[in-house]
Amino acid sequence: MNIHPLFVHFPIALLSFYALMEICRFIRINRSPHWFHAKAFVLIAGAASAFLTLETGETAASLLRKPELRALVRAHSN
């Protein structure tokens, strides 16, 4: 079973949300002691989910049985 598509959107969403958190630097929010920890959590979760996405993609590629699809998978990974 290919679970790679289930993981693909998590790093995109989390890292995009982290970028928005960095861009939206409101003075009132930055004073909160929890703001740094919330940003750190989102960044670490995004990086971890990117790693899991990569691993599930590599696993799916290694389980591929049709040799004519290998070029397509190579293009997708690039």
pLDDT in tens, 29-59: 777 778 889 999 999 999 999 999 999 888 8
- Residue 9's pLDDT band (boundaries 50, 70, 90)? very high
Burial 43-53 (b: 16+ CB within 10 A, else e): bebbeebbebb
pTM above 0.95, yes or no: no
**CA–CA dist 14, 46 (Å, integer):** 5
Tell me the domain boundaries of the chain.
4-77
